[in-house]
Structure 1
Amino acid sequence: MTVPGLPEVFRGTVAVASGLVTPDLLRGPQFARVLPDTYVRAELCPPDLRLRSLAAYAWAGPGAILCGYSAAELLGASCAPRDAPAEVAVTAVRAGPRSRAGVVRVRRDLLHPDDITELGGLRTTGRIRTAFDLARRLPPVEGVVAVDALARGAFAPDLLREFAARHPGLRGVRKVLDAVCWADARSGSPPETRLRLILVRAGLPWPVPQHPVVDGRNEILWLDLAYPAALLGVEYDGGGHFATPEAARADARRHTRLVAEGWRVLRYTAQDMRRAPGRIVAEVRHALGPTHRDAAQRAGKIHNSR
């Protein structure tokens, strides 16, 4: 149902007072209540993280600031699990909204004005503050995933060292510094970061994320991860590769063009990464061979020293 003037997420009392809906209509099947007095249109359910975040923002009231995974989502740096709760920071220490398990996590953080940005009328923590918060709260791998996603095309991960130095008393600062050591803003997606970490944390050389290969038609083919000296690519195979017959054919043509340029490409799925990380490491190590492995290792040391 579309009601003129009604946003995706709205407070029920405000919509009724404005004459956009009636109380009976609000209680009907056309709308779904996601938080107290906070509704979305039923056709938008189940709400994704973006919509849950908008609902949390409307529900939390004046002074609310989207943070954590919610801020990352609104900033275009999606890196959260599918069922992650919305996250919102409020200034009140004791009063105000409380967390609701599985739906919204309320944080009572002190935020400097420079830590906050505005997006379409919504206040969120900025990219660096969001990366800092996620890296210090998440498990190590997912902390690096968040830093990569937020840094991509926006800032050098090393800036988090300076930010951490200004907040030495906050819990988890050491985790942020560790995440910076493994981060790479060139990563193309969260699964690619996870795949890279499987390799480098097992002692393999650091691959080049998003490596361009110019083919015989003078067109660029991008590899998720690459060891250029060995002409070896390592790629994440997501569902999009085979979403349609045309996508599958395009993927096959791309692979053929890479092979024609002398590249070998190892491809892994999310299931491979979850269940067989050791096999991935063994296969990449074997494919590199001792000569190329040593050369790539030296290149990785140069990268890590920058």
Structure 2
Amino acid sequence: MTVPGWPEVFRGTAAVAAGLVTADRLRGPGFYRLLPDTYAPAGEPPDLRLRSLAAYHWAGPGAVLGGYSSAELLGRSCAPWHAPAEVVGAGLRSGARSRAGVIVRRDTLRPDEIVELDGVRITGRLRTAFDLARLLPPTEAIVAVDALARGQFDPALLLDFAVRRPGLRGVRRVIDTLPWVDARSGSPTETRLRLILVRGGLPRPVAQHPVVDDRRRILWLDLAYPEQRLGVEYDGGDHFATPEAARADARRHTRLVAAGWRVLRYTSDDMRNAPGRIVAEVRGALERSHPRRDAAERAATIIEAR
């Protein structure tokens, strides 16, 4: 007898009936009870992926994972750490209701909006991006669409997707989100940093800008103002996770400086606690480097001298 999800996440009654585990063992320290009659082996605290799989098996045979849960299984993590799992579908079991840690939406999905991944049905990239854009607050919506679109689809496709679904709640929010989206963004944190700059009144930077160093190797800047040769980067903890990582990061910074670039780096603490300072520092750096204006001023000086 096959038990869906065994041994990672499974329905307890099905596993007991199949003789894979006893009821007493399920109640012991070797298993987490994630949802009613839904278990996983004990180990690390359940992450969004595991909680999403639990919601999928708990909600019944008509379940489809959507929203942040779908993004997680697609390998495009963009959810806050506390995000609930999300189940979508019209044919969910009668007892499947939203509860702590799980959102249940009884939307009707079209067959072409559903894909199957490792035996689990999830909403496809476009439908997932559409739902997150229409249901999340503006910043989180932009972060999610950036993550899902990166290297996969042109965000402009969401406009057509939204227009063909006028009756769904929040369609207008999708349209309002699209001008802020950039599918070149390398990570959710980079999207948040870009939004701090643009909402602060600065020009829109180029995401994932390539810089060729003196060895003809390409270095990628998180955000860049190429005309001013100014880079703006998120400085994550992984840059200094090991001594070798710290050395590699220092070498990379030196190569960027040697190529004529200035780079401003900001941490998550800076972004959370001092967005105004970030905007002021980047604005100041931009104002100190206007190559075209400087060239024009030099040309005017030469003409006057003549």
SS at match of 2:103: strand
Contact 1:10 1:40 in 2 (8 A): yes
Does structure 1 residue 16 correspond to structure 2 residue 16?
yes
Alignment size in residue pairs: 289
Q: Percent identical across equivalent pairs?
A: 74
1:260-296 Cα deviation digits (max 9, x unpaired): 111100001111111111111111111011764999x
After superposition, the Cα gap between the structure-2 partners of 1:6 and 1:262, relative to the gap in structure 1 and judged at 3 Å, is same
Amino acid at match of 2:48: L
Shift of residue 197, structure 1, vs aligned partner: 0.7
SS at match of 2:231: strand
SS at match of 2:252: helix
1:207-251 Cα deviation digits (max 9, x unpaired): 111111111122111100011111100000111111112111111
Residue 299 of structure 1 is matched in structure 2 by none
Residue 90 of structure 2 is matched in structure 1 by 91
Residue 140 of structure 1 is matched in structure 2 by 138
Moved more, 170-179 or 229-238: 170-179
Shift of residue 96, structure 1, vs aligned partner: 3.7
Contact 1:285 1:293 in 2 (8 A): no
Residue 227 of structure 1 is matched in structure 2 by 225
Residue 31 of structure 2 is matched in structure 1 by 31
Normalised by the size of structure 1, how large is the TM-score? 0.91
After superposition, the Cα gap between the structure-2 partners of 1:135 and 1:292, relative to the gap in structure 1 and judged at 3 Å, is farther
Distance 1:116 1:278 in 2: 42
Distance 2:51 2:7 in 1: 14
State the structure with more CA Rg: 2
Extract unaligned runs of 5+ from structure 2. Answer: 294-306
**Structure 1 residue ranges (4+ consecutive) displaced by more than 4 angstroms after TM superposition:** none
User: Within 5 A, what are the aligned runs for 1:87-236?
Assistant: 87-92=86-91, 95-101=94-100, 103-236=101-234
Shift of residue 15, structure 1, vs aligned partner: 1.1
After superposition, the Cα gap between the structure-2 partners of 1:18 and 1:292, relative to the gap in structure 1 and judged at 3 Å, is farther
SS at match of 1:274: helix
Residue 61 of structure 1 is matched in structure 2 by 60
After superposition, the Cα gap between the structure-2 partners of 1:273 and 1:26, relative to the gap in structure 1 and judged at 3 Å, is same
RMSD of aligned alpha carbons:
1.7
Amino acid at match of 2:230: L
Shift of residue 93, structure 1, vs aligned partner: 8.2
Amino acid at match of 1:77: R
Extract unaligned runs of 5+ from structure 1. Answer: 296-306
Shift of residue 196, structure 1, vs aligned partner: 0.4
Moved more, 16-25 or 28-37: 16-25
Match of 2:260 among 256, 259, 262: 262
Moved more, 262-271 or 19-28: 19-28
1:3-41 Cα deviation digits (max 9, x unpaired): xx9421111111111111111111111111000111111
Shift of residue 95, structure 1, vs aligned partner: 2.8
SS at match of 2:87: strand
